[in-house]
Amino acid sequence: MTSDLLAPLDLAFWNIESAAHPMHLGALGVFAAHSPTAGAHAADLLASRAAAVPGLRMRIRDVWQPFTFAPLAFGGATREPDPDFDPLAHVRLHAPTADFHADAGRLMQRPLERDRPPWEAHVLPGEDGVSFAVLFKFHHALADGLRALTLAASLLDPMDLPAARARPEPPSRGVLPDVRKLPGLVKGALSDVGRALDIGASVAVSGLGVRSSAALTADATGTRRTAGVVVDLDDVHRVRKSVGGTVNDVLIAVVAGALRRWLDERGDGSEGVAPRALIPVSRRRPRTAHPQGNRLSGYVIRLPVHDPDPLGRLGTVRAAMDRNKDAGPQRGAGAVALLADHLPPLAHRLGGPLVGQAARLWFDILVTSVPLPSLGLRLGGHPVTAVFPFAPLARGQSLAVAVSTYRGGVHYGLVADAAAVPDLDRLAAALREEVAALLTACGS
């Protein structure tokens, strides 16, 4: 494998990271164990398989040599093979635990080491002897959700998948434009200016008249807590069939209702609360997109936490998502990530800390969906019984929600600042209660 310049959005994730705000994705897979030694065997398998996965050998190195690379790359970073790659430095076996999420929270708060391939796999044997868990961590500059899934799946047992057609390798990312394309580039630049102004205006308007909660936007302490809950996908489909919309509309509305229950129970109150939720949207073209670069936009909607009616909340979410889809992911407040494509690497380097601090001006909570295969996942023959995706916490946010559907269940993974949200388990329980409330409201 050869060196490859980081895509602009990858570079942005690399530069906005801080000790209190590590920019890694996570996923906690829980496995049914056949024996008390299953965890140790799983760790051995992960380490041996990692050695054969080229994408896991890639480290990220800063570019400061203007004469080695083209001038436009100065201040950027490359993804390149690590000649000293050692899988044993990335796969770690821990002592048996009675609480997978407690350990996962502590591990999620630790930044990945930036001088070697930025990923880790932590194996957590269960004290019960009949289960173990694996926490995967991938830096967002190394992989987006889909790419992280691909890398993690390469370490699990092979799945019987249809043979994929061979695809040509995408061309290397150049650092200087092709002169034959300059007229089109100029026209595109003018269009980009208009888009940037539109996005900026949308961000400003989205912040008007918003009441969020201190629990969602508290100052960060750098600590982390995780929680997870599984709800029946059939129940979600029953709600969707009863009121219309999409499964994603229902899943987002469940978050809004759970936040209302949680805020009221803890005494913060939900009256007038309508936090801005960022809903990431993938811009990948499956057969043509570069396999490693982040290609993201997003929608921003106000979660109707203040509305006491479950069906009213769902209707509001559905209407907001329909408006976003009609406008498309290229404009609006959620499309801020697109602006990363039009900044030189040095601007990312110098402006990264400022961009990270500005996140709270953009949105209050992240609600993201992470795709998983419908086929059963296994490691050493041990089946996955649950998998909880975790998103990174931006500066100014205390809570992030990630959702995956797997084997008939909807798996919500919650990450929070441990000091700001010590009762995260209660919020996880409220998600299940909100699904029940929607079913009752639908007469199911």
pLDDT of amino acid 362? 66
pLDDT of amino acid 7? 79
Integer Rg of the chain from CA: 22
Mean pLDDT value across residues 285-313: 75
The 10s digit of each residue's pLDDT in 90-123 is 999 999 999 999 999 999 999 999 999 999 999 9
- The residue with greater pLDDT, 200 or 324, is 324
pLDDT of amino acid 15? 84
d(CA 394, CA 272): 24
Least confident interval from 67-81, 194-208, 231-245, 282-296: 194-208
pTM: 0.83
Highest mean pLDDT among 74-83, 152-161, 272-281, 289-298: 272-281
Q: What confidence category does residue 292 fall into, taking pLDDT thresholds of 50, 70 and 90?
A: low
Q: What confidence category does residue 145 fall into, taking pLDDT thresholds of 50, 70 and 90?
A: confident
Q: Which tokens sit at 289?
A: 């997109």
Phi and psi at residue 144, in whole multiples of 5°? -85, -175
pLDDT of amino acid 143? 87
d(CA 201, CA 216): 24
d(CA 81, CA 2): 7
pLDDT of amino acid 397? 86
Average pLDDT of the chain is 81
d(CA 46, CA 156): 8
Highest mean pLDDT among 33-42, 334-343, 356-365: 33-42
- 3-state DSSP of the chain: CCCEECCHHHHHHHHHCECCECCEEEEEEEEECCCCCHHHHHHHHHHHHHCCCHHHHEEEEECCCCCCCCHHHCCCEEEEECCCCCHHHCEEECCCECCHHHHHHHHHCCCCCCCCCCEEEEEEEECCCCEEEEEEEEECCCCCHHHHHHHHHCCCCCCCCCCCCCCCCCCCCCCCCCHHHHHHHHHHHHHHHHHHHHHHHHHHHHCCCCCCCCCCCCCCCCCCEEEEEEEEHHHHHHHHHHHCCCHHHHHHHHHHHHHHHHHHHCCCCCCCCCCEEEEEEECCCCCCCCCCCCCEEEEEEECCCCCCCHHHHHHHHHHHHHHHHHHCCCCCHHHHHHHHHHCCHHHHHHHHHHHHHCHHHHCCEEEEECCCCCCCCEECCEEEEEEEEECCCCCCCCEEEEEEEECCEEEEEEEECCCCCCCHHHHHHHHHHHHHHHHHHCCC
Q: Which tokens sit at 200?
A: 């900026």
Mean pLDDT value across residues 10-26: 87
pLDDT of amino acid 63? 75
Least confident interval from 31-40, 139-148, 202-211, 365-374: 202-211
pLDDT of amino acid 395? 81
Q: Which tokens sit at 330?
A: 């290229």
pLDDT of amino acid 268? 92
Mean pLDDT value across residues 266-275: 92
d(CA 276, CA 326): 19
Least confident interval from 73-77, 160-164, 409-413: 160-164
